[in-house]
Structure 1
C-alpha cells in the first residue's frame, strides 16, 4: 500500500481544504483506502501480458489508480502499466498529477496520461461507433449526480437514457464501450440501476455486451464513504465484456467498508440476472429460495388489470382545496399513509387536512375497493411493504375519495380481490422479494406491477380465505403456502 497510502494522505489534505458543498455539487465522493484495495484485488490479471492498459474515469486524486499499481506490483507483474485518467475538475487536478508523478518517479514500468475533458462528451458513444476498444481493465468510482434529460451528457448517450439519468451509469456505459473484449471492469456505484424503468435501457444495453462476475454489498448505507454522510445503497460490481454467461455470480457481503467478516455465496447466474433484465441482489440461501419460489409464477398485477398507481394529491401544491372538516357537498376523504393501520384504512383519525374540497377529476378517484401501500418507509422498519385494505361499503356516503402522493394504490373490482392482493403484499415472501429487488426505502409502483404473482382467479381465492380472519402477516403466509411453495 505504498502509493495508496501516499495518495490517501494528499486526498485528506485536499478534502480538508475544500467545502463539502462544493464537492457535492460535482457528485464527488472519494473512495476509502480499504474499498480501493478490495476493488483492485477483484481483477483476474494475466501476469504474462507485456502491457496492461488501464482506465480510471473520474479519477479524482488517483486513489484507485494507486491501489491498482500497488496490487499489480504485489502480484509481481513485470509488464508496462499504462494508465489513462480522466478528470476535469481543475481543483483536484494538481493533486492527481502529484500522486501520479509520485508513482512514475518510483516505478519505471508505469506510464500515465491525464485527459482533462468531460469523459462522457469528448468521445463518441453507441450507434455505429466502431473505434477499437483501448483498455484491458477499468476501475472507477464515478460521480453520483442526477442530471436533466436535456443535459449534454444525456443527449450524447441517448441509447442508454430514459427519464432523468444519473452520471454514474453513464460513466459505466462509456467505460464498457472503451473496454476490450474479455476486458474487466470494477466499479463502486449505487444499486439503484438494478431495477426500475429509468434504468431499463441501460440494463438491456449492458447485458447485450457484458456479464456480471462478482457483486459486493454493504449492510450499512452511511459508512461506505468515510466522513461524507452519503446515505446511499452502494455496491461494488465486477463485469467482464463477453457474451459467454458464467454458471454463477459470486456474491459477497460486509456490514461496512472495512471489509471485516465478509460472507460469500455463489448464486446461479439466472437467479441474479433475470429474463426481465432486473438484477436481484441476494446475500443468503433464504433469499435464493424466495426467488426460486416466485419465478415459477408467470402473471403480473398489471397484466391482470391490478396496476399499482401513485396517489394523486401533492398536498403542498394544493393547499387551497384541503380541509380539516367537511364544509360542502363536494368535500371528500383524503387518505394519507397515516390512515394505514393494522391492515386496514382507518379514517378519519383527527389528522390535519383529512378532507379535500374539489370537483377537479384529476384530484379525485372513484370510491371503490382498494389496497393502499405506503410509498416511504424507514430502513430500520420491520416491513418494506406496509399496506391496508379500503372497502367502499365502509364509506357509503362518498362518491369519490382522494389520495396523497406518499401512498400507492391498487384498484380492485371485488372485495375478495382486494383481500387477495393484500394477502400477497402483506406476506413475508413478497416483502423479502421486494427488499431483494430494491434497496431503497421507497416502494416503486413500476417494480410492484412487474412482480411475479398468481393469476387473478387465484388471488380472489386467497381473498376468500382471508375474509373474516385477522390481517396478520402470519395468516397471509399460511394462506399463500397453499399456492406458493
Structure 2
C-alpha cells in the first residue's frame, strides 16, 4: 500500500483514520525514511478510538521522530466520522483539520444504522452510505487536497449493488481511480479473518482527470505471482451503466458478454422476474417436515441441486424436504412448474460463483405447489413457472464461463443476490428458448459444449 503512492518533494500531511497500532503509517514512514519519498517534511494525523491501541500507536509513531524538525504527529482519540464532518461543515465546537496530501486507510467494517448519529453526521457533508468503511473513504476524499492521494484496503462490496450507488457517485465525481489491486484468493490473503468477500486495495487521486486504470492481482499477500495490466476507464465503469458498477478485469482477453450485441437485454426486457426464495425456514419452523407426506409441499434447498438437476426428496438430509401446505404457508409457495434457480451462496474457493439449475415439475409427482428456501434465487414469471425451453436456456447461459467471469468483474462476494442478477445482460427471449431447446436435445452437457454454444450465439 505504501508503495502505491507516487514520489513527491512537497510537505506531506498524512491521514491514517482507524490507525490501530499504526502499521500503515509505519509502512509509509519507513518508505520515507529510507528515501522512497522525497518529502521535506511529514506530519501524521492518526485517528484511533480504541484506548487499548492508542498507547501502541504512540510508540509506533515516536520511532520516526529523530529529534528533527521534519516530522510531527497528532493522535486523535476521537470518532473520525464526527471529527471529519465537524471540520468539513466548519463547526465552532471542533478543531478544523487542514487538508491532507496523502491518506492511507484500513477502515473498520460495520453497517451504519439509518437513524444513527453517524448517518446524520455523514448526511451533513453530503455523504450517503451504509458502512463505516465507505464512510471513512468518502471522508478521506473530502479531506484531501487537490491531487492528493488516497490508498485504502477495503471490501469489494462497494463496486456493485444499489446501496453503494451514492458512495460510487461521490467518489467518481471527486476523484480518479488510478490503481486497484485484487487478491484472487480470500483464503490465502485473509486466512485469519473468515472473510466472506474479496478485499481490494484502491488508489484514488483527488480531483484527478480520469484516465486508464492499473489493475494488479495476486493470489495472496506474498505478491509472488503479481500480475499488472492497464485498462481504459470505460472497461472499469461502462459508459451506459446508470448504476456505475466498478468492474475489476483480471484478464486482457475481451469478455464475450461485454462485447456481444446479442447479449444486451435485462430480465425486465424479457418479461422474467428473479426473487430470493420466500421460505425463511426459521420463521416457519413449525410447518417444516423432514419428509413429504399428505398435506405438504416439496421444500427445495441448495442441497437438492447438483449437476444442473434436481434430486428430491433426499433421505437423511440435514434440511427438511417438505413444508406443510396450509393457509399459513400458501403465500410463500409457488405453483409447480419449470423454474431456473441459482444458489445465493458459494463456498469461499468454489470454482464458479454462479451455479444454475432447472426445476423439473416431473420430479414432484402430484404435488401442486413448491417451496423455495431463502438460500436460492428463483427465476419465474409473475410467481409462476417458465416455459420449459426458457428455463433450460437461462440455466445454460448462466452456467457459461463468460457469465461467471463477467459477474466476478463487479461482484466480490461469495453471495449472489437477486439484485445482482437483475442488473446482468441476457440474450433475447427467443435466443434463450432456442438455447434451451438445444440443451434439452443434447441431454448432459460439458462446460466446453456450453461455452462453445454461447460463442456461436454471441458472434
Q: Shorter-chain TM-score: what band?
A: 0.7 to 0.9
Which whole-Å deviations, capped at 9, do the CAs of 1:91-129 have from their partners, x for residues lacking one? 111111222222123443012212211001223289988
The alignment partner of 1:85 has SS state of strand
State how far apart, in whole Å, the 1-side matches of 2:266 and 2:419 are: 11
State how far apart, in whole Å, the 1-side matches of 2:412 and 2:260 are: 19
Q: Structure 1 residues 115, 436: CA separation in 2 closer, same or farther (over 3 Å shift)?
A: same
Q: Which residue of 2 aligns with 1:440?
A: 413
Q: Structure 1 residues 126, 322: CA separation in 2 closer, same or farther (over 3 Å shift)?
A: farther
Q: Structure 1 residues 453, 235: CA separation in 2 closer, same or farther (over 3 Å shift)?
A: same
| CA-based RMSD | 2.6
Which whole-Å deviations, capped at 9, do the CAs of 1:380-407 have from their partners, x for residues lacking one? 3332222211234554623321111111
Q: Which residue of 2 aligns with 1:389?
A: 358
Contact persistence 2:347–2:414 (CA under 8 A): yes
TM-score (norm 1): 0.83
State how far apart, in whole Å, the 1-side matches of 2:167 and 2:189 are: 25
Q: Structure 1 residues 88, 427: CA separation in 2 closer, same or farther (over 3 Å shift)?
A: same
Deviation at 1:349, TM superposition (A): 2.7
2:221 maps to which of 257, 261, 281: 257
1:309 maps to which of 269, 275, 297: 275
1:419 maps to which of 385, 392, 401: 392
The alignment partner of 1:84 has SS state of strand
Contact persistence 1:125–1:177 (CA under 8 A): no
State how far apart, in whole Å, the 1-side matches of 2:273 and 2:149 are: 40
2:234 maps to which of 235, 249, 270: 270
Q: Which residue of 2 aligns with 1:279?
A: 246
Q: Structure 1 residues 380, 46: CA separation in 2 closer, same or farther (over 3 Å shift)?
A: closer
The alignment partner of 2:389 has SS state of helix
TM-score (norm 2): 0.88
Q: Which residue of 2 aligns with 1:141?
A: 106
State how far apart, in whole Å, the 2-side matches of 1:452 and 1:438 are: 15
Q: Which residue of 1 aligns with 2:455?
A: 481
State how far apart, in whole Å, the 1-side matches of 2:127 and 2:37 are: 39
2:290 maps to which of 321, 324, 336: 324
State how far apart, in whole Å, the 1-side matches of 2:172 and 2:261 are: 20
State how far apart, in whole Å, the 2-side matches of 1:451 and 1:205 are: 23
Which whole-Å deviations, capped at 9, do the CAs of 1:242-261 have from their partners, x for residues lacking one? 26210x11111222212223
The alignment partner of 2:85 has SS state of coil
Contact persistence 1:295–1:452 (CA under 8 A): no
The alignment partner of 1:183 has SS state of strand
The alignment partner of 1:150 has SS state of coil
The alignment partner of 1:383 has SS state of coil
Q: Which residue of 2 aligns with 1:150?
A: 115
2:171 maps to which of 199, 206, 211: 206
Which whole-Å deviations, capped at 9, do the CAs of 1:241-298 have from their partners, x for residues lacking one? 126210x111112222122232111112111222331112222224x43464358743
Contact persistence 1:271–1:292 (CA under 8 A): no
State how far apart, in whole Å, the 1-side matches of 2:285 and 2:256 are: 44
Deviation at 1:311, TM superposition (A): 0.9
Aligned residue pairs total: 440
Contact persistence 1:323–1:355 (CA under 8 A): yes
State how far apart, in whole Å, the 1-side matches of 2:174 and 2:192 are: 36
State how far apart, in whole Å, the 1-side matches of 2:359 and 2:195 are: 38
Q: Which residue of 2 aligns with 1:193?
A: 158
Contact persistence 1:389–1:422 (CA under 8 A): yes
Q: Give unpaired runs (5+ residues) of structure 2.
A: none
Which whole-Å deviations, capped at 9, do the CAs of 1:311-334 have from their partners, x for residues lacking one? 1112233221112344434x2111
Deviation at 1:140, TM superposition (A): 0.9
State how far apart, in whole Å, the 1-side matches of 2:113 and 2:344 are: 24
Deviation at 1:455, TM superposition (A): 2.2
Matches within 5 A, 1:97-176: 97-124=58-85, 134-158=99-123, 159-161=126-128, 165-176=130-141
Which whole-Å deviations, capped at 9, do the CAs of 1:432-480 have from their partners, x for residues lacking one? 2223332222222111111111222322222222232224233332332
The alignment partner of 1:82 has SS state of strand
The alignment partner of 1:440 has SS state of coil
State how far apart, in whole Å, the 2-side matches of 1:468 and 1:253 are: 41
Matches within 5 A, 1:54-93: 54-73=14-33, 74-75=35-36, 77-93=38-54
State how far apart, in whole Å, the 1-side matches of 2:112 and 2:48 are: 18
Which whole-Å deviations, capped at 9, do the CAs of 1:42-81 have from their partners, x for residues lacking one? 112322x2x2221111111222222222222313625221
Moved more, 120-129 or 423-432: 120-129
The alignment partner of 1:146 has SS state of coil
Contact persistence 1:343–1:471 (CA under 8 A): no
The alignment partner of 1:277 has SS state of coil
Deviation at 1:411, TM superposition (A): 0.7
State how far apart, in whole Å, the 2-side matches of 1:369 and 1:386 are: 17
Q: Which residue of 2 aligns with 1:9?
A: none
Contact persistence 2:196–2:414 (CA under 8 A): no
Q: Give unpaired runs (5+ residues) of structure 1.
A: 1-38
The alignment partner of 2:162 has SS state of coil
Deviation at 1:364, TM superposition (A): 1.2
1:219 maps to which of 179, 184, 196: 184
Deviation at 1:337, TM superposition (A): 1.1
Q: Structure 1 residues 381, 88: CA separation in 2 closer, same or farther (over 3 Å shift)?
A: closer
